[in-house]
Amino acid sequence: MSKKTDSNSYTMIFAIGMVLVVGSLLAFLASSLKPNISENKRIEKQQNILYAMGVNENDESSAIFVSTSVAEQEFQKYIKKQLVIEGDNFSEDEKAYMIDVKKEKSKAKNGGTRKLPLFVGEKDGKTFYIAPIRGKGLWDAIWGYVAMDENMIVQGAYFDHKGETPGLGANIKYRFFMDDFKGEHLLDASGNFKGIRVAKGNNDPKNDEKTDYEVDAIAGATITGDGVSAMIKSDLKLYVDYFKTLKQ
């Protein structure tokens, strides 16, 4: 190394210069690409919600969304109502799907009332109630959408994650795992909330719960699976009161 680059003042100037260049480059890029990115995210939300209620282009084994170009149309066609539940009141809101579940969760933690979005969809004469859920996996956030009928029996589910391990926890977004939730019950026989557990005991012939309240866990992804059970329990429980009003 030449002498020039060893001096303290050069090092300081270089460091400051580098930070300025890199910082402004990234800031410029992030803000100029922001509209595209948020539009992509918005369409993805619509695709996720439609996926949970069974509007998708799945082939035999893999999960495929409706294409991005028709997502908006399909969303208008199948989703009949978008509700926002706040305490005991609920109102319709066309932008309910844009509610940020993460923000609402932290609001509830700080003692505020949480806005709960619920989407009512209709397909082939059947009504679906789709709710978003969000929780923690092993490394980062996991989230999803669960479609239920009026008895809170799961009709379809979609899960996604930010950074679970590929091949292990990341498999929660594969069909073999998501399809397993269909037909599971969230309420017990007397109508109390019970939830669905991602469990390992699914091969046990003596286990009576496996048909209604348990799905098969993924080997090597215990913590992600527990995260899925936990977010189903904590988030879907909040909708029980609304489902009770449907029966009155």
Partner 1 sequence: MGLLSKKDAKLITDPLTDNNPITIQVLGICSALAITAELKASIVMSVSVLFVLGLGNVVISLMRNIIPSKIRIIVQLIVVATLVIIVDLVLKAFAYELSKTLSVFVGLIITNCIIMGRFEAFALGNGPWKSFLDGVGNSLGYAVILIIVGFFRELLGSGTLLGIQVLGDPIEKTGLYAFGYENNGFMLLSPMALIVVGLIIWVQRSRNQALIEEN
Q: What is the residue-wise DSSP string for 65-129?
A: PPPHHHHHHHHHHHEEEEEEEETTEEEE-TTGGG--HHHHHHHHHTTPPPPEEEEEEEETTEEEE
Q: Which of residues 127 and 165 has its CB atom nearest to partner 1 in the complex?
A: 165
- Min separation Cβ 132 and partner 1, Å: 18
- Min separation Cβ 44 and partner 1, Å: 7
- Min separation Cβ 161 and partner 1, Å: 8
Q: Which of residues 191 and 220 has its CB atom nearest to partner 1 in the complex?
A: 220
Q: Which residues bind partner 1 (CB under 8 A)?
A: 1-2, 5-6, 10-11, 14-15, 18, 22, 25-26, 29-30, 33, 36-37, 40, 44, 61-62, 68, 162-168, 170, 219-220
Q: Which of residues 183 and 220 has its CB atom nearest to partner 1 in the complex?
A: 220
Q: To the nearest 10°, report the CA torsion of 98, 172, 106, 140.
A: -120
Distance between first and last Cα of the chain: 81
- Min separation Cβ 167 and partner 1, Å: 3
Q: Which of residues 51 and 243 has its CB atom nearest to partner 1 in the complex?
A: 51
Please check whether residue 170 is in contact with residue 163, taking contact to mean a CB–CB distance below 8 angstroms. Answer: no
Q: Which amino acid is at 226?
A: D
At which residue do the structure tokens 């909330």 appear? 193
